[in-house]
Structure 1
Amino acid sequence: MTDILSARDEEAALEELHRLGCTDGLPVVIPTAERVSRMVLASGLDADMMLGTMGPGHGIATVEKVAIAAVMAGCKPDYMPVVVAAVKAVIEPEFDLTEMQATTHCTAPLIIVNGPARHTCGPIASGTGALGPGHRANATIGRALRLTMINIGKARPGSSDMALLGHPGKFTFCLAEDEEASPFTPLHVSRGFEADDSVVTVLGAEAPHSVIYAGNGDDPNSYKSLLELLAMGLANPPSNNGTLTGGCATVVLNPEHTAILHGAGLTREDIAQELYERSFVEASIVKRLFSQFAGANPQDRMAFKGPEQILILQAGGSGVYSMVMPSWCVGAHANAAVSVKVEADLFCEIPGLATA
């Protein structure tokens, strides 16, 4: 049973939640019993259903507790199936949540949404500014996951969340793939799901690194320059992918860059292979800059174990900027990407339900 707090009014309740360290530092919607009950009902699941435990505090994530986080984050009930799927994803052992919460690295869970839930549980933005402000579903779904990590997983800055600096994605980090505009099969299909499945993929990620490239239509080989630049972003020497190697990373291609690579005859799998082969740090740099990691006979250091560790999707507006997100690369499973099907068919619509 979830503990019940009381306060004289909502202003006092907000201050109490801040005092108890239950917020992310921003104001929250007060999770009254009525609001939480409505969010649980919208999930189609029992309030006391246990989804798993969340480290490092190993709190039990029940549907009710997740609903509390969703209310506090400002979610609409429509978003609840995606929030539940994201929580399920980070709870999977392959995600290394306990280690991720306790690391000094800045990693944060990036949520990628595919399939019909992008529309039925949103809309979840995939176009211009998808990782920026102004998109309620993106902002509140990502924030709800973070609040579960704080209040169920008990990750508190400086005591159990040991990130030296963090990054803004630790408030919220969520977008959808722009499947309609992409010439490639959707990300979730490449990961073994059906096209009409709704899927959440979560992986640890640094803040986005901007990659600038202006195409040259007169040079049929110009796409190779784009591949080189993306690989440089993925395996830049100061990052964990360049130094420690072996973790997943994300490439978000804008529509123009996707068109360049697709126009060169490359599939998503081809792009991943090309980036894998180009993502390395030369032995001379390893020896000169990474002496404590170099060993007796340093070799060229591959950033990834294989192309499957590079997740590629299309999102954002068209132009000269794409983004890459290197990762943490540590933990028993190197903070692997985990994909979970969204059980949106369980959603229980509440007629006339107001947001709060």
Structure 2
Amino acid sequence: MTMRLTSGRISVDGFAEAQAALHARGWTDGLPVVPPTQEAVAACLDWAMLSPDHLIGIEPVRARAITAEKAAVNAVMAGCSPQHFPVVVTALTAMLQPEFGLHGPTASTGGCAVMLIVNGPVRRELAMDATFSVLGGADRSCAVIARAVRLVLANVLDVKPGGIDRATLGHPGKLGYCIAEDEEATSWVSLGDRRLSTVQAERGQVSSVTAVASMAPRQIMNEWTTDPTELCETVAAEIRANQLHYSIWPGNYVVVLPPQLRAHFDAAGWTPDDIAGCVFERARVRRGDWADVGKGAIVKDRADQSYSALESPDDLLIVAAGGPAGGFAAVIPPWLGTRSHASTVAVGACVDCDVD
């Protein structure tokens, strides 16, 4: 039986005409898209076992609904295969959680993007590569999943530059911002399992997506020490720089640690919790420090007031990923403090279902 879809239809003569028609309607991101035929959209819905009218969620500020059918249409246009679609649905579900506060990050002049971090077996099923150029968009699955989310924001929620999206500058992550964690190359408990508090017997078996309202990556390097405390100080120094140059308020910073630096932490017996605790203590500035970066006008009589970059060590999201060589890492700052919190949802989970 043919799946009943309610989206409108347009008739075109060939691939080139489809590109022109979809672009003219403002439904693309400027790049070529895959024509969303009924068969392709239905295949995504079948794979995820979702009906076309399944409600993924409602954007709370403007009450815009995201249905499975609309998400599937945009996923197909982004280049997703049916196997990618459950991850797209999970990412959208995470973004629609109250703690994420979707309207703020997508409408702000601050110009952040939605970063997605994928954990669990689904990474292997989709051949996600968490090694070389992990932040450079070299992986097909990461690229199309992130692009699908971006197209849903634009076409369903009308988050387009100059419209709902009021970003002054933005950054390239707006085109797509998705990575997987390199769980096979580390003994650490994955970010997804830490955030979901997965019981030990099930660690590594639960697929999840974490959504974070994030600014652009800031690459750091320290090849001159193996001391874990000194490495944490390098991370904290970059976070302090962001506090001074961008926002003094605390939030979910992401730290991506490649193998070379992870090896030093492993040799010292440090876990992600140890790293987070050390960075938490060091990543803080005084309001008076703002005078040194041209912001003295807002110091006033609060020069000695201290500001931590993290409300707690748990707010630091540590991800094992990246290529094998070089003492590099990346610090990815949050959008605007606690106005948006990272949200993690298990793939296939029904967050609003009633449980008897």
TM-score where L is the length of structure 2 = 0.89
Partner of 1:17: 22
Q: Secondary structure at the match of 1:235?
A: helix
RMSD over aligned Cα atoms: 2.0
Partner of 1:42: 47
Partner of 1:321: 328
Q: Are 1:300 and 2:309 matched, yes or no?
A: no
Partner of 1:155: 159
1:13 CA displacement: 2.2
- Work out the CA distance in 2 between the residues paired with 1:39 and 1:106: 31
Amino acid at match of 1:232: A
Partner of 1:336: 341
Structure 1's 292 and 53: CA in aligned 2 closer, same or farther, altered over 3 A? farther
Using CA pairs below 8 Å that are at least 6 residues apart, which structure has the higher relative contact order? Answer: 1
1:56 CA displacement: 6.2
Amino acid at match of 1:248: N
Deviations 1:244-267 (A, max 9, x none): 312111000011111112222221
Partner of 1:349: none
CA contact (8 A) 1:56 1:160 kept: no
Structure 1's 57 and 35: CA in aligned 2 closer, same or farther, altered over 3 A? farther
CA contact (8 A) 1:286 1:301 kept: no
1:66-215 equivalences in 2 (<5 Å)? 66-120=71-125, 122-191=126-195, 192-193=197-198, 194-195=202-203, 196-215=205-224
Structure 1's 244 and 6: CA in aligned 2 closer, same or farther, altered over 3 A? farther
Amino acid at match of 1:286: W
Structure 1's 223 and 66: CA in aligned 2 closer, same or farther, altered over 3 A? same
- Work out the CA distance in 1 between the residues paired with 2:119 and 2:192: 6
- Work out the CA distance in 1 between the residues paired with 2:110 and 2:146: 19
Structure 1's 255 and 182: CA in aligned 2 closer, same or farther, altered over 3 A? same
- Work out the CA distance in 2 between the residues paired with 1:172 and 1:99: 18
1:128 CA displacement: 1.2
Structure 1's 20 and 244: CA in aligned 2 closer, same or farther, altered over 3 A? farther
Deviations 1:5-47 (A, max 9, x none): 3333332221122122211111111111121111111111111
1:237 CA displacement: 4.2
Identity %: 35
Q: Secondary structure at the match of 2:311?
A: coil
Corresponding residue to 1:61 among 60, 66, 78? 66
- Work out the CA distance in 2 between the residues paired with 1:41 and 1:239: 49
CA contact (8 A) 1:117 1:344 kept: no
Count of residue pairs the alignment pairs up: 337
Amino acid at match of 2:312: G
Deviations 1:125-178 (A, max 9, x none): 211112224311011011111111111111010121011111111111111111
- Work out the CA distance in 2 between the residues paired with 1:25 and 1:290: 38
Structure 1's 57 and 74: CA in aligned 2 closer, same or farther, altered over 3 A? farther
Q: Secondary structure at the match of 2:220?
A: strand
Moved more, 1-10 or 151-160: 1-10
- Work out the CA distance in 2 between the residues paired with 1:112 and 1:238: 23
Moved more, 230-239 or 298-307: 230-239
Deviations 1:64-98 (A, max 9, x none): 11111110110111111111100100011111111
Amino acid at match of 2:254: T
Unaligned runs of at least 5 residues, structure 2: 1-5, 351-356
Structure 1's 205 and 273: CA in aligned 2 closer, same or farther, altered over 3 A? same
CA contact (8 A) 1:286 1:300 kept: no
Moved more, 102-111 or 291-300: 291-300
Amino acid at match of 1:178: D
Amino acid at match of 1:306: S
